[in-house]
Amino acid sequence: MRETESLGLCFENMLIFGGGAGGGGRWRISEWKDIPAELLLRILSLVDDRTVVVASGVCHGWRDAISWGLTHISLSWCKKNMNNLVLSFVPNFTKLQVLILRQDAPQLQDNAVETIASYCHDLQELDLSKSFKLTDHSLYTIAHGCPDLTKLNISGCSAFSDSALAYLSRFCRKLKFLNLCGCVKAATDRALKAIGFNCNQLQSLNLGWCDHVGDEGVKSLAYGCPDLRALDLCGCLLIRDESVIALANNCLHLRSLDLYYCQNITDRAMYSLAQSRVKNKHETWDSPKNEYEDEGLTNLNISQCTALTPPAVQALCDSFPALHTCPGRHSLIISGCLNLTSVHCACAVQPHRAANLLSHLAH
């Protein structure tokens, strides 16, 4: 009852104080507990997240105002008791859209994630990286509680299984950004097939060091997620050319690809990327898409892909003007490929066009 009264008072004050038109007939705030929500949130938008948590404990009026307006918060600064903080703080802040809980040392447990999933149904972005202690139960609760998730980071959560991840993909179908770096047990072909089937808006996927990832999984992704722009397959040792060929043919907006240590990759993969570029250019000739989409690959990491030869990689560079080998801007990473040092980007050869590219890319 008291809380409603304070909230009511806050709204009234806010309505009267908002805008600034007109002259007299205004309330005078006699007490700061009745500060208009809008004003309090404006001040709190300038303080660090810890202070926001402190402010929410000052009085009912402030808590209600913050509860009404708070959409983004990070609790990563809490180094020792993050789990308890989530348990007591989150139930009051049901409007949260972005919640960052990245940890240095793993603290979060399933009951905290369950709390988040129970109260924060509007959640769009959740960062649980390094939550080593979480089990599949957490993924099930997120699946049921947060269907609007577009960004999920569970890198380092090594206890999750692929069946739980597949389950989550059936409910969180709006995912655009998914970070599974180090989730070795979760990121298997089985899970990737489910993601490819369910999460068709996916734009960015990090599968770094998930060494169970195979061609069947990546191909499913390529077929199911045509909007894929960034894919990190660093350390995915099993990947062969057919994965890259599927990506080249289906993911026409791909801008960043990381194949570090994918030692089975051969020139075939490079040529398929280069050729898809040519095909893509013709198809998008008449489309109203903006110029930046047309840049193609801007980042490619083929370090330790020792089977590649210079002509194939050069063909790639020639097809993608945004791939650079020049110092300071190099986006074609070839560490450990001693035979590829002759490969060079367009800048070295065509200074005029390079100057245009520079202004083109400087957005």
Partner 1 sequence: MSSSEERKLILKSSDNEEFVVKESSAVQCLTIKNLVEDRCVSDPIPLANVDSKILALVIEFMEKHAETTLSNSEKKEFDVEFVKKPFDDLLELILAANYLDFRELMDVLCNTCAKQMENWSVEEVREKFNIQNDYTVEEEKAARAENPWAFE
Q: Interface with partner 1 by CB under 8 A: which residues? A: 2, 6, 17, 19-26, 28-29, 31-33, 36, 39, 42-44, 46-48, 50-51, 53-55, 57-62, 77-82, 84-85, 88-89
Which is nearer to partner 1, 1 or 362 (by Cβ)?
Answer: 1
Q: How far is the CB of 329 from partner 1 (least distance, A)?
A: 34
> Cβ closer to partner 1: 23 or 327?
23
Query: In the Cβ-directed half-sphere of 38, how many Cα atoms lie within 13 Å?
Result: 10
Nearer to partner 1, 42 or 281 (CB): 42
Task: Determine contact, residues 276/248, Cβ cutoff 8 Å.
Answer: yes
Output the smallest distance, CB 231 to partner 1, in A. 36
* C-alpha to C-alpha distance for 60 and 2, rounded to whole angstroms: 8
Residue 13 or 155: the one with the smaller Cβ distance to partner 1 is 13
* Both tokens assigned to 292: 């930046």
> Which residue, 2, 109, 137, is CA-closest to 64?
2
Closest CA to 243 of 228, 225, 265: 265
Strands 332-333 and 125-127: unpaired
Nearest approach, Cβ of 61 to partner 1 (angstroms)? 8
CB 54, min distance to partner 1, A: 5
CA distances (Å), origin 215, targets 35, 93, 185, 313, 316 = 58, 42, 17, 22, 22
Q: Using DSSP bridges, classify how beta strands 177-179 and 72-74 pair: parallel, antiparallel or unpaired.
A: unpaired
Please say which residue, 76 or 306, places its beta carbon nearer to partner 1. Answer: 76
Q: Nearest approach, Cβ of 156 to partner 1 (angstroms)?
A: 20
Smallest distance, Å, CB 206 to partner 1? 29
CB of 318 to partner 1, least distance (A): 48
Q: Classify 32 in phi/psi space as left (phi over 0), alpha (psi -120 to 50) or beta.
A: alpha
For 196, the enclosing helix (H) or strand (E) is helix 189-198
Q: Which is nearer to partner 1, 39 or 347 (CB)?
A: 39
Q: Residue 332: phi, psi to the nearest 5?
A: -105, 110
Report CA dihedral (212, 214, 216, 219) to the nearest 10 degrees. Answer: 120
Task: Report d(CA 229, CA 268) in Å as an integer.
Answer: 21
Q: How far is the CB of 223 from partner 1 (least distance, A)?
A: 46
Residue 360, number of CB atoms within 10 A of its CB:
14
What phi and psi values does residue 314 have, to the nearest 5 degrees?
-65, -40
Nearer residue to partner 1 within complex by CB, 63 or 212:
63
Is the Cβ of residue 21 or residue 338 nearer to partner 1 in the bound state? 21
Instruction: Look up residue 312 and give its two tokens.
Output: 């194939």
Smallest gap from Cβ 72 to partner 1, in A, equals 16
Element of type H or E holding 256: strand 256-258
Nearer to partner 1, 60 or 253 (CB): 60
Query: d(Cα 314, Cα 142) in Å, to the nearest integer?
Result: 45
